[in-house]
Amino acid sequence: MINIQIQKQLDGPEGPMLLDLNLQVPMGQLITLYGPSGAGKTTTLKILSGLMQAETGKIMVADSTWLDTSEKICLKPQDREIGYVFQDYALFPNMSVRQNLKFAQPKDKDSGIVQELIQIMELENIQDRKPDTLSGGQQQRVALARALVQQPKILLLDEPLSALDLKIRLKLQDYLLQVHRKYGLTTFLISHDIGEIHRLSDWVVVLEEGSVVRQGSPSEIFINQNLSGKFKFKGEVLHIEKNEVVYIVTVLVHNEVVKIIAQESEVKNLGIGDAVIVASKAFNPIIYKVS
């Protein structure tokens, strides 16, 4: 179990904001932090990694205490067995792919891991190249491999795929799931992409203004939302994207872009540019064509 209880005063988007979390998650899961900009998602990952300090709090990972402000315990980032991947790849530009991985490898750890990750992440053909000769997707594969060379228990992913186009993103999601499972990691992902969250996550934690406002499985969070009142509005279909089990329909309503989860039967006759009504039905939004 990972037990996170942290408090930190932040300068929120609309003034002072208290990041105040009390979160328990089982080891081995892929947990997504979801929520509006400025909610405190990145700060949470930074405090977990030890790159930023909480004012008060406690972080327990299985039996080990990473942080306990009342006991003045605060493990250094390098002692926390964490791998971190950001949106920008932050690779060493003067080193080849293999050298980037070798450099990250702890001296006392298994030397076979670099070769293993080169194979898993399919980096053989680019292992002697420098990062600036690689595409974004290739660089992000290297960044992921480099984080895993350290054989972390916990992988922190701060919107690692958001700069990539959809096709590459889907491929990278497969790599992510593969390594998450193979190495028995506990992974914290920040993502705004509902399709990605559905594909990858076991558990979703929704943060707003520094607090957890909801948590549950992706379906509980995005499909079975209990909407309090009925609503109905007209819009235009901008995009339809198939996820493994559902469709995500992007609809323009006035100046708002809204994403709706829909079943196959609901999108069968829908096309880009169609006028639609988005309405609540028995607490779940449904979508249907009006012209």
Ligand X SMILES: Nc1ncnc2c1ncn2[C@@H]1O[C@H](COP(=O)(O)OP(=O)(O)OP(=O)(O)O)[C@@H](O)[C@H]1O
**CA pair distance 6, 94, nearest whole angstrom:** 38
**CA pair distance 242, 264, nearest whole angstrom:** 9
Among residues 83, 77, 123, 125, the alpha carbon closest in space to that of 104 is found at 83
Pick the binder of ligand X from 32, 40, 173, 237 (CB under 6 A): 40
Compute the least distance from the CB of residue 78 to ligand X, in Å. 21
Do the Cβ atoms of 81 and 152 come closer than 8 Å?
A: yes
In angstroms, what CA-CA distances link 56 with 22, 46, 159, 179, 276? 12, 15, 26, 33, 49
Q: In terms of CB distance, is 86 or 175 closer to ligand X?
A: 86
Pick the binder of ligand X from 1, 13, 119, 162 (CB under 6 A): 13
Pick the binder of ligand X from 32, 42, 49, 191 (CB under 6 A): 42
Examine residue 160 and tell whether it contacts ligand X (CB under 6 A). Answer: no
Examine residue 194 and tell whether it contacts ligand X (CB under 6 A). Answer: no
Examine residue 63 and tell whether it contacts ligand X (CB under 6 A). Answer: no
Q: Residue 49 — φ and ψ, nearest 5°?
A: -80, -15
Q: In terms of CB distance, is 10 or 75 closer to ligand X?
A: 10
| C-beta neighbour count of 133 within 10 angstroms | 11
Q: What residues pair up with 214 in beta bridges, in sequence order?
A: 206
Q: In terms of CB distance, is 10 or 23 closer to ligand X?
A: 10
Interacting span for ligand X (CB under 6 A) from 37-45, 59-67, 94-102, 110-118 = 37-45
Examine residue 12 and tell whether it contacts ligand X (CB under 6 A). Answer: yes
Q: Which helix (H) or strand (E) holds 136?
A: helix 136-149
Pick the binder of ligand X from 41, 58, 146, 180 (CB under 6 A): 41
In angstroms, what CA-CA distances link 181 with 45, 110, 217, 270? 21, 19, 18, 36
| C-beta neighbour count of 72 within 10 angstroms | 6
Q: In terms of CB distance, is 38 or 195 closer to ligand X?
A: 38
Pick the binder of ligand X from 5, 32, 43, 138 (CB under 6 A): 43
- Token pair of 232, please? 């109905």
Do the Cβ atoms of 123 and 142 come closer than 8 Å?
A: yes
Q: In terms of CB distance, is 40 or 195 closer to ligand X?
A: 40
**CA pair distance 12, 27, nearest whole angstrom:** 30
Pick the binder of ligand X from 15, 37, 70, 256 (CB under 6 A): 37
Interacting span for ligand X (CB under 6 A) from 4-12, 67-75, 179-187, 270-278 = 4-12
| C-beta neighbour count of 4 within 10 angstroms | 21
Compute the least distance from the CB of residue 59 to ligand X, in Å. 16
Compute the least distance from the CB of residue 44 to ligand X, in Å. 7
Examine residue 38 and tell whether it contacts ligand X (CB under 6 A). Answer: yes
Interface contacts to ligand X, rule CB under 6 A? 10-13, 37-43
